[in-house]
Chain A
Amino acid sequence: MSELVMKVRMAQTLEQISAAFEDPFLLRRWYGAPPGCHRLGGAGSLAPGEAFQVQLIDAEGTPFTQLGRVLSVTPGEGFEMELGWEGGQLGREVTRASMTLRAVEGVTYLELRQGPFSSQEALEAHQAYWEACLGRLARVASGEAVPCFEEFWEESHGFVEPLGMAAYTVLAGLREAGAAPEVIAQVEEALYAHLARVPEEIAGVLGAVLRGRLKEAAA
């Protein structure tokens, strides 16, 4: 039996860190996904005593879920919660985690404790998990728009079928690369005008090629 203890100095103020916890649209940018995985969405409540779930996928696209329950919250100072997993690579045991925050001269000291773990492997997997989450937390608290799977997922919902998804990926990629709005508009115009004229049979074959290539890449 062992306990994970992490003490991290964060360059951001306590107010910045607290905002990244309290704003659900900031929270989803950093909380939940282990290294190489992505957060699909969250459900439930973060009120003390209530259960919450975070839906995730691993690098191969296999879904798994984090199951949790906030046990207590001390505003501006930290919280305690219960955590477990359904699927994924972080084990099955339910543990208790506490996080305390302390402001010192414009920076924030964060202490995380979690356990008990029945194996060193589980402890190390959770250490990697928290390192990934807290790394993103620091960036989000600094105001960085950390790439968020949920945000792109929701935006891509407006597009359908493989050709639509391919068009979305190109357009969003251009935008994220900093292309000028008028350039994106021109590319968009060309894509929508011409792709709409692709015969259905060819669209079907191109869709099959795209699916096949994506499966091949994942494998």
Chain B
Amino acid sequence: MRFQPPWGGAFRLQTVVHRKPEALPVETVEAIRTTILGSPLLGESNLSSQFTGTYGFSIAFRREAVSQVTSRFPAFAPFLEAALLPDCDAFLLNPLLIQDGRGVEAHIDRSLEFYGAGTGCPVAVSVLYVQVPENLSGGELRLYHRGKRVAALAPMPRALVTFRGDVVHEVAPVSAGAPVLSTARISLVVEQYRMPAAQKAWVPLFDVRTRTGARA
């Protein structure tokens, strides 16, 4: 195989994050918001302990099943079109809803390790800000590389943020502005993995999971 630019061509060694403001049209993001809030799958997060107190559900899928994902969740299609890196082949998509008093503790995403140990971290993680309450206080995305903070991004409506999968990150607790689920800080996140064939075989083609174990 020929030399390929690293991180899907999206990052340099000293670049850990990109932010594209107003990445998707208002109506597209509104359709995503309606889909998330109206989903019967929505419940307490099924991700790692750092997500305790947040809400969401997760969809693991391989590149060849993108059409299944968009068929089941048509509103998510423009996001996937805009966010997926060309040389990634396995993904974990999850809406993330954070209300007042909650945040996400520092972690590195390794959500696909649910399906098999050793899959490691993703190449990149992309986040679309779907709902940012006007009077939101807190909820900043903070990125750390080798122990140093390298970025602190306040949520911006409709912005698409992509950061390198090897950076430690956290969401600062939301202190005000999101008292109930319908007014929560809502983002749609996709972890993007590139996996050796043997490990990719562990990842289901398309798997929807919730905390209560509902699968579809």
Contacts and interface: CB of A to CB of B under 8 A. Distances in A.
B151 to A, nearest CB: 16
Contacts of B144: 25
Given A155-B166, A161-B1, A175-B13, A168 B120 contact: no
A203 B121 CA distance: 26
Interface size class of B (residues with CB under 8 A): 20 to 34
B147 A164 contact: no
A145 interface: yes
Contacts of B87: 160
A200 B120 contact: no
Nearest to A207: B1
Interface string B1-22: 1111111100111100000000
Contact of A185 (B12, B164, B168): B12
Interface stretch (A98-106, A129-137, A190-198): A190-198
Contacts of A90: none
Contacts of A167: 3, 6
Interface in A149-164: 151, 153-155, 157-161, 163-164
A79 B216 CA distance: 43
Interface residues of A, number: 35
A48 B120 CA distance: 25
A217 interface: no
B146 A151 contact: yes
A198 B165 contact: no
A196 B108 contact: no
B123 A200 contact: no
Contacts of B6: 158-160, 164, 167-168
Contacts of A161: 1-4
A184 B13 contact: yes
Nearest to A143: B147
B214 interface: no
Contacts of A158: 6-8, 11, 123, 164-166
Interface string B79-103: 0000000010000000000000000
Nearest to A166: B3
A198 B1 CA distance: 10
Nearest to B168: A25
A171 B13 contact: yes
Contact of A200 (B2, B12, B13, B194): B2
A160 B4 CA distance: 7
A69 B138 CA distance: 37
A15 interface: no
Contact of B14 (A151, A153, A184, A203): A184
Contact of A198 (B2, B11, B12, B194): B2
Contact of A196 (B5, B7, B12, B123): B5
B37 interface: no
Interface string A169-183: 001100100000100
A43 interface: yes
Contacts of B198: none
Residue among A151, A154, A167, A171 with the highest chain B CB neighbour number at 10 A = A154
Task: List 7 tightest A-B contacts by C-beta distance, closest first.
Answer: A154-B166, A195-B3, A158-B7, A158-B6, A163-B3, A159-B6, A155-B166
13 contacts: A145-B147, A153-B120, A154-B165, A154-B166, A158-B164, A158-B165, A159-B6, A160-B1, A164-B6, A181-B14, A188-B13, A198-B3, A203-B3
Given A43-B113, A157-B121, A203-B3, 19 more contacts: A25-B144, A55-B118, A148-B146, A151-B166, A157-B120, A158-B8, A158-B166, A159-B7, A160-B4, A160-B87, A160-B194, A161-B4, A163-B3, A171-B13, A184-B13, A188-B13, A196-B3, A196-B4, A200-B2
